[in-house]
Amino acid sequence: MCVIPLTLKDCAFAARLHQAAFYKGWTEEDFQEFLKDPLVFGLKIQYPSPAPSGHPLPQGERGFFTLQRMGYLSQKWYRQYGKDPSPLVGEGAPKGRVRGNKKTKYLSFILWREVAGEAEILTLVVDPSFQRKGLGQLLLNDLFEQLKEKGISKLFLEVAEDNESAKSFYIKNGFQVIGKRPNYYERPGHTFVDGLNLLKNIER
């Protein structure tokens, strides 16, 4: 399993995951528009790890950022953040829909925008078949590290007020509610729920 950049080639899979996770999820065209923006960045989790051209599979612990930039996550990284990917593959893997072809499983992705020294999470999605296995935490931790490297100290996001699991996840990760958008998210039956504005101060 690896964390690697989300690219324009991934828009179809990103749209399928988003539509499976959210009411009126984004389309492939929506993701194309986002990823053509030079201020928008993304990461995805897939299995197996693609071997970068000219690089053998890393051996031992050569440091988090070296491995991450090559597309690999070391055992040191998993010990630090507390999740081993082994339950996601092999005989113990959960049954259900998996994105991608027979050789590649697309499991999760995050998309964010950086403007004027601040960042905003646009969306974070985990395949419904692989939720509650730490994938969202892996992506969020990676994002925190990247923002620290760039000197970005404020990270914003919006979440639906009725999305209890998402609210709990972000608050656990240090986000605080700073505002509200009334009737922002549409629900079935043409009903609406408020959106909550959250902020996390990134410690350097």
Residue 86 lies in a domain: yes
Single-letter residue type at 114: E
* pTM greater than 0.95: no
* Residue of 47, 72, 106, 170 marked active site: 170
**How many whole angstroms separate alpha carbon 134 and alpha carbon 139?**
9
**How many whole angstroms separate alpha carbon 105 and alpha carbon 108?**
9
Angle among Cα 84, 126, 21 to the nearest 5 degrees reads 155
DSSP structure class, residue 45: E
Residue 21 lies in a domain: yes
Tens digit of pLDDT at every position of the chain (204 positions): 788 999 999 999 999 999 998 988 999 999 999 999 999 999 999 876 554 444 333 333 222 333 344 333 433 333 333 333 333 333 343 343 334 445 567 899 999 999 999 999 999 999 888 888 899 999 999 999 999 999 999 999 999 999 999 999 999 999 999 999 999 999 999 899 999 999 999 987
Catalytic-residue membership of 145: no
Residue 172 lies in a domain: no
Question: At 9, which CATH number?
Answer: 3.40.630.30
Number of domains in the chain: 1
Other Cβ atoms closer than 10 A to 20: 15
Angle among Cα 202, 5, 169 to the nearest 5 degrees reads 45
Q: Name the packing angle between helices 28-35 and 11-21 (round to 10°).
A: 120
Residue 121 lies in a domain: yes
- As given in the structure block, the two tokens for residue 169 are 């996840």
Residue 200 lies in a domain: no
- As given in the structure block, the two tokens for residue 22 are 């959210």
Q: Which residue range forms the structural domain that includes residue 50?
A: 2-152
Structural Rg of the chain based on CA atoms: 17
Contact predicate 96/128, CB 8 Å: yes
Residue 122 lies in a domain: yes
Q: What pLDDT is recorded for position 185?
A: 93
- As given in the structure block, the two tokens for residue 141 are 């931790």
Residue 101 lies in a domain: yes
Catalytic-residue membership of 170: yes
Residue 108 lies in a domain: yes
* Residue of 28, 114, 158, 161 marked active site: 158
Residue closest to 68 by CA, chosen among 118, 19, 80, 153: 80
